[in-house]
Amino acid sequence: MNTQSPLPAPGAPLQHYVSIAPFDLQSVEAMTPEQSKVFQASQLRLMWWKFRRHRLALVSGIFLAVLYFAILICEFLAPYNLHTRNMDYIYAPPQRVHLFHNGQFVGPFVYGRQMTLDMDTLKRNYIDQQDDVQRIRFFCKGDSYRFWGLIEGDRHFV
Portion of the chain with pLDDT greater than 90, in percent: 28
Burial of 143 (0-12, 13-18, 19+ CB in 10 A): middle
Q: Where are the domains of the chain?
A: 30-72, 76-156
What global pTM score does this model have?
0.57
pLDDT on residue 1: 55
pLDDT on residue 2: 60
C-alpha distances (whole Å) from 66 to each of 52, 56, 98 are 18, 15, 25
pLDDT on residue 51: 93
Q: Is 100 helix (H, G, I), strand (E, B) or coil?
A: strand
Q: Check whether 123 has a pLDDT greater than 60.
A: yes
Q: pLDDT tens digits, residue range 69-91? A: 999 998 888 888 888 887 877 88
Indicate the pLDDT class of residue 44, thresholds 50, 70 and 90: very high
